[in-house]
Structure 1
Amino acid sequence: MTTQTPTLAPIAERVAAPATLTLPTAGGLTWRAATREDAPAWLALRNRIAPADAQPYVETLEEIEEIFDGEWRDMAADSLLGLDADGALVAWAQVECPPGDVTVARAFCWGGVHPDRRGEGIGRELLAWATGRARQLLAASGKDVPARVATFADDDAPVTKHRLYERAGFGVRRYYSDLARPLTGPDAAPVPEVTLAGSLRLVPWSTDLDEPTRLAHNDAFRDHWGSQPQTREQWAQRAGFAPEWSFLVIDEAPDVEALLASPDTDADTAAALRAGEPLVVGYELAARYTEDFAVRGYSFGYTDILGARRGYRGRKVALAALAEGMRAFAAEGMQYAALDVDTANPSGAHGLYASLGYVKTSGSRMYSMEL
């Protein structure tokens, strides 16, 4: 007996998007969309909220300004800033739908309220506006696939934040762990030496290999829950990127015929193979978050993205890239190597990190509405 997947109603019906959005009235604030000129004040507010929400990081002006560079975002419609009578920024929200989503259409809600203005109902009404806008964006996407409205919270955030999401209809869907391992001192395990076999070669990241790396990433994460393909424009947005700490593994002599015949080879990779483009099979892309050193209490290099093409798993390509990244961190005097991982990662990454001496330092969770 076979089980048939129920046919989904059109996304415009399922998401029940409101015809109009209601601006918050709580707190007596004035509301308007965010502009690039707001970036410094917006950054200051977000970094004032961060410790109150137990975030183990702060943000940078580069990260805020990058939001306005994404052509898929309509900040005039997808953002909201709340100002008090003196014109001070005290609350914010932003919603976005990643353009590369294929099998699940996602809308992410972000926002916060100044710690001194909590308890007035501002957050509840702001979240209602954001989820309403998220539903509108999903309906407008026309992608008749499963849909998700999602947001995040750190595990140690105030219980009121978790309750806010739960009462709004969100449920915990996924857990994430932030991991770190020492690079110096008596507790630092040796960074492994990894020998790659055959035609596999470890190389530094370079501009000409960035597009092949994007294709490798889209392949590597196809079977990861919650991951969707990244477009070129999405991929280009990586504030904090540290190319000098980033490494790739390429296959200098891939079996092109076998890869083209494989049902696991996606269309973009197939086109690149036919064109004779380099084949990146593993990668470690790192970031430098200097502003977070004081928050964590130590310096560190951060592995932002790590992956291996599915057909190359088991050949140590991700481990080789990760180890080279750790050596680069240490060479610049970083005390720790850090990264984050989905606790249910299908590639077995959690076990790999534990074997390398990574331990959990903090955690977060995704809340979602599945539509």
Structure 2
Amino acid sequence: MSHVAPQTLAPIAQRAQAPATLPVPEAGGLTWRPATSADAPAMLDLQNTMFEADRAPYRYTLAEVQDWFGAPWRDPATDSLLGLDADGVPRAFATVDSFPGDTRTVRSFLDGGVHPARRGEGIGREVLAWSLARARQKLAASGKDLPARILVYAEDDAPQAAHRLYERAGFRPVRYFSELRRDLAAPIPELELDGSLRLVPWSAELDDAARLAHNDSFRDHWGSEPRTPEAWVHGRSEFAPEWSFLVVDEAPDVAGLLADPETDPETAAALRAGAPLVVGHQLAGRYSEDWPVHGYTFGYTELLGARRAYRGRRIAVALLARAMRAFAADGMQYANLDVDTENPSGAHGLYASLGYEKVHGNRAYAIEL
């Protein structure tokens, strides 16, 4: 959907206040350079060491780290920073990311950290300053005169020093999320969909139709922006197609949907071309590296949604139930997912009714421009 920027907004190049040059960190006596794909194994070790020290409920795989370097819209030469000690071992890093499909709010995402043995030297503060400066440059260069946001995420129980660091840099907590789990030993509901709705396994042939369904499903969710085709298929190193399912309307009211002003242009074009209409999606991931950290095995629902015109038909419940059966058939003990605590579609009540319970929490910090 197109977005008309409010007339009161100054141009993004003005609001971003981008510096002409980036501040190179000096603390800790590290040597700084951009990261490359060859650094992925060392960056994996650095990040997992940080996660272990901070008791984070996850660990990365090498494929996940390599994914970051493989996105066609990212430029590691300008959007990453690696701090090396005298032995050439990475002790700190930063990445800044923006996505090509932002049409309502243009965003920059920050990630980074410092090895536990090198904390307390002021390195983190200077790495964050570099990241913020680069984020402002990227926002200014976007040319998108939209509301803008710089984002960083933190676990609720991360070290308090991390939370203080973000707040002192001007970030404010703007959203809270919960990781939920559901015991698969409990009975899983059986549900039949009505009318011409059919629940089917995920397939490559239906994947772009699922992207369109996702974009429609999430356009009223905070922080969500349309996924472009390239962004939709990227970052799937842990994707579990065997645990992923879609709902298709085999006889959609094409005329009614085309007449509906809420139908987005991409969906309208697909309908005119006679493409299948995916109306619900549940895409899952297999994060086996996280199982020992959690202390149990689980299947993870990455994305779950139903098109706005199809809400109220229990599509999400049917998808979750089908995914639970697939997880359980593979020997998983729990079904896990994350949810925005202020989700506008009533997701929290849905998950509670299915037996999900909170196990972790995290939050988004933002600087609004």
Q: Please indicate the TM-score interval, normalised by the length of the shorter structure.
A: over 0.9
What's the counterpart of residue 8 of structure 1?
9
Runs of 4+ in 1 over 3 A off after TM superposition: none
Q: How does 1:49-198 map to 2 (within 5 A)?
A: 49-184=50-185, 188=186, 190-198=187-195
- In structure 2, C-alpha distance between the alignment counterparts of 1:217 and 1:229, rounded to whole Å: 8
What's the counterpart of residue 215 of structure 1?
212
| Cα deviation, residue 5, structure 1 | 5.7
- In structure 2, C-alpha distance between the alignment counterparts of 1:193 and 1:37, rounded to whole Å: 48
Maintained 8 Å contact 1:306/1:318: yes
What's the counterpart of residue 330 of structure 1?
328
Q: Which runs of 5+ in 2 are unaligned?
A: none
| Cα deviation, residue 154, structure 1 | 0.2
**SS of equivalent residue, structure 1 residue 22:** coil
What's the counterpart of residue 305 of structure 1?
303
- In structure 2, C-alpha distance between the alignment counterparts of 1:144 and 1:54, rounded to whole Å: 40
**SS of equivalent residue, structure 1 residue 135:** helix
| Cα deviation, residue 271, structure 1 | 0.2
What's the counterpart of residue 278 of structure 2?
280
Q: How does 1:312-327 map to 2 (within 5 A)?
A: 312-327=310-325
**Does 2:261 match 1:263?**
yes
What's the counterpart of residue 33 of structure 2?
32
| Cα deviation, residue 6, structure 1 | 5.5
**SS of equivalent residue, structure 1 residue 339:** strand
| Cα deviation, residue 287, structure 1 | 0.4
**CA-to-aligned-CA distance 1:154-205 (integer Å, 9 cap, x gap):** 0000100000000000000100000001112xxx2x1111111110000000
Maintained 8 Å contact 1:81/1:92: yes
What's the counterpart of residue 233 of structure 2?
236
Maintained 8 Å contact 1:58/1:292: yes
Maintained 8 Å contact 1:79/1:95: yes
TM-score where L is the length of structure 2 = 0.98
- In structure 1, C-alpha distance between the alignment counterparts of 2:220 and 2:62, rounded to whole Å: 33
- In structure 1, C-alpha distance between the alignment counterparts of 2:7 and 2:249, rounded to whole Å: 42
**SS of equivalent residue, structure 1 residue 50:** helix
Q: Which runs of 5+ in 1 are unaligned?
A: none
Maintained 8 Å contact 1:95/1:134: yes
Maintained 8 Å contact 1:181/1:336: yes
Maintained 8 Å contact 1:173/1:366: yes
**CA-to-aligned-CA distance 1:97-151 (integer Å, 9 cap, x gap):** 1111001000001001000100000000000000000000000000000000010
1:342 to 340, 347, 356: 340
Identity of aligned residues (%): 66
2:202 to 201, 205, 208: 205
- In structure 2, C-alpha distance between the alignment counterparts of 1:272 and 1:245, rounded to whole Å: 26
Maintained 8 Å contact 1:53/1:154: no
**CA-to-aligned-CA distance 1:225-249 (integer Å, 9 cap, x gap):** 0000011111112220000000100
- In structure 2, C-alpha distance between the alignment counterparts of 1:217 and 1:88, rounded to whole Å: 41
- In structure 1, C-alpha distance between the alignment counterparts of 2:278 and 2:148, rounded to whole Å: 31
TM-score where L is the length of structure 1 = 0.97
- In structure 1, C-alpha distance between the alignment counterparts of 2:227 and 2:281, rounded to whole Å: 15
**CA-to-aligned-CA distance 1:50-96 (integer Å, 9 cap, x gap):** 12233200011111111111111111000000000111110000001
Number of aligned positions between the proteins: 364
**SS of equivalent residue, structure 2 residue 41:** helix
State the AA in 1 paired with 2:178: S
Maintained 8 Å contact 1:52/1:157: no
Task: Supply the RMSD in Å over aligned alpha carbons.
Answer: 1.0
State the AA in 2 paired with 1:228: E
- In structure 2, C-alpha distance between the alignment counterparts of 1:219 and 1:339, rounded to whole Å: 20
- In structure 1, C-alpha distance between the alignment counterparts of 2:315 and 2:276, rounded to whole Å: 15
| Cα deviation, residue 319, structure 1 | 1.2
**SS of equivalent residue, structure 1 residue 68:** helix
State the AA in 2 paired with 1:172: P
| Cα deviation, residue 318, structure 1 | 1.4
**CA-to-aligned-CA distance 1:289-310 (integer Å, 9 cap, x gap):** 0111100000000000000000
**CA-to-aligned-CA distance 1:198-218 (integer Å, 9 cap, x gap):** 100000000100000000000
**SS of equivalent residue, structure 1 residue 37:** helix
Maintained 8 Å contact 1:302/1:339: yes
- In structure 2, C-alpha distance between the alignment counterparts of 1:62 and 1:120, rounded to whole Å: 31
- In structure 1, C-alpha distance between the alignment counterparts of 2:71 and 2:92, rounded to whole Å: 22
What's the counterpart of residue 246 of structure 1?
244
State the AA in 1 paired with 2:305: G
